[in-house]
Structure 1
């Protein structure tokens, strides 16, 4: 049954709970409402696994980085056994922020009153607290969160009741094994602030429909019509498509291509797999490289984005890697420079008081339709 669009149904998430060939996009209000943006943070960023980067950003014990995303303040670090840990970036004494940036440490010391925690989050010293009746250091360790690593990605959950990461990912491994994602090396990571909703940003990197109109002279001719969306059991959407050359480079820069990722099968060498790990991380696995984006809300019409470019280790050791890698970065940056004005314009259109959900192009927007189905089912 195809719904007749009316103003009454303009906020009806049920319109998205259908197969792509019947489904409507998410109601515009979910891209513009301050109230819903706050509810999203609770529902999707505090009660679900979120992707927060690549494992090789913290290679050694004592390595740490801080994250300030979606109203969360998080410390990620490797403990003394190389286990990944996630803590709230707030002291258990009087809640001062503990640390900023990234680096290497032997422990975490609060700059306000010098409470010191080891790499496992245990409180080791608290000066002059002996007169505090009943005070025990064992009861005052850092607030900890769930942290896991799979396929070279870091995942964090702020809720202890979240299902296991393996249940969250389902049959993800079945579709991504050829690329050996966990072996790819991060070469560049950059932060961008974009004036559009976080969902909107991730959507544009998961659909082919806009390519001839937004990227007519940069990457459009590289991509052929994609294969049908894959049937998955986890919280993700994925779609493979053939390419002319590599999707990692611009149309005019294909002669700068790096060697293929070792171990790829014949099909994987002929295209790219675009995957959206719900809610907030997406990536493209090409035959020679992978790029990924994390997106975090900064209100309804702005988002914080991290772009990461990864390559196989053997490519990074080539004499001309630096020169060739610049061509890959140039592709990422130019395509993004074309996407951002389109996204900002879409955000303006979403704010129209009479805006309504629209129909998907099933073959070219299948990942976006899958996300809309998943998202609508969580409310």
Structure 2
């Protein structure tokens, strides 16, 4: 296949059994044409994460995001419910809100049209002489938004089944850890010079840990003891047993519910297409990915504490130490994934055979191929 037909090249790639599989074709990462397909058929037709529900605590707390170029507001309405709506004014189409913050009402920065927290139009100055103006017909279009296990999930697709329907197996694996009750302690936004899929794949496999993370966590990894189980329709996963070298990696000393290896197990969940979660009995951290052209990715990077540790007086200092480690690991991942992107620009760039430790990458490629039109 040529670079001019990257979707066909991907379909041919994933038709090969995993035992003989190769990495995705270069054009799947570098092609503007393929990214346009992803925006229409992957991002516009999937549940995407806007972060943690506890980031929006009070009525009027809001954040903004984009889905396939569509500006979206997510907020707590006056009744305390999560709500998502268009972030485009119904007058002259200005963007209404930026970043995140708190508002009592949504006021357009261009002509001061003002909307209630449910999206209905509250007022519009100097519109009384226009006979076509109808305030009741000019509310902000609503967008589907749900709280799934403490994650804010948003979709442009009005017919997509709720996340719980497509991710039932998550409960079977990690239901003993109350994700919905974990407390977020940091939330940051970054932009890296790499393709979004390169970063997603990097999270999905631990084959790179000994080399890429040689300065931090790589020395504790034994490739011979790693396994990558077969994933599910909506996500892939693997898990690691950790010791108490990181204070928050294991269950709190006062926790009597977790027993045996469940007190030490770290889960890595890749929820398709772009929510990447590391979940331990003590803390969690996550990445939410948004493509910004083929060669850049916008990253929402956050994390926090299991409720047992959130109320422990010593937890903040332990988490500060942990956050320093997470940041260092993140910096190492940035270097590795940006080098992959740079290497893909070479005329000699050719995808290599996959290790048995890269099964999640193969499943991710098959999922993307399944979302594209035939």
Tell me the residue number matched to 2:272: 278
Cα distance in 2 for partners of 1:255, 1:92 equals 51
Cα distance in 1 for partners of 2:292, 2:195 equals 8
Please state how far the C-alpha of 1:180 moved relative to its aligned partner.
Answer: 0.8
Q: Deviations over 1:296-315 (max 9, x none)?
A: 11111111112111202331
Could you tell me which of 84, 102, 108 is aligned with 2:100? 102
Cα distance in 1 for partners of 2:64, 2:332 equals 30
Is the Cα contact below 8 Å between 2:44 and 2:67 reproduced in 1?
no
Q: TM-score, normalised by structure 1?
A: 0.88
Tell me the residue number matched to 1:368: 361
Is the Cα contact below 8 Å between 1:17 and 1:377 reproduced in 2?
no
Tell me the residue number matched to 1:290: 284
Is the Cα contact below 8 Å between 1:258 and 1:324 reproduced in 2?
no
Quick one: structure 1 residues 77 and 6, their matched pair in 2 at CA, closer, same or farther if it must change by over 3 Å?
closer
Tell me the residue number matched to 1:28: 26
Cα distance in 2 for partners of 1:369, 1:83 equals 38
Tell me the residue number matched to 1:249: none
Is the Cα contact below 8 Å between 2:231 and 2:360 reproduced in 1?
no
Structure 1 residue matching 2:340: 3-state secondary structure: helix
Tell me the residue number matched to 2:164: 166
Q: TM-score, normalised by structure 2?
A: 0.90
Please state how far the C-alpha of 1:113 moved relative to its aligned partner.
Answer: 2.1
Structure 2 residue matching 1:345: 3-state secondary structure: helix
Cα distance in 2 for partners of 1:113, 1:190 equals 31
Cα distance in 2 for partners of 1:264, 1:230 equals 25
Alignment of 1:307-322 (within 5 A): 307-322=301-316
Structure 1 residue matching 2:18: 3-state secondary structure: coil
Q: Deviations over 1:129-173 (max 9, x none)?
A: 333334322211102211011111111101223233223324222
Could you tell me which of 19, 38, 41 is aligned with 1:40? 38
Cα distance in 2 for partners of 1:307, 1:201 equals 13
Alignment of 1:236-247 (within 5 A): 236-243=235-242, 245=243
Segments of structure 2 that go 5 or more residues without pairing to the other structure are none
Name the count of aligned residue pairs: 365
Alignment of 1:158-237 (within 5 A): 158-224=156-222, 225-232=225-232, 234-237=233-236
Asked if 1:334 is matched to 2:333, the reply is: no
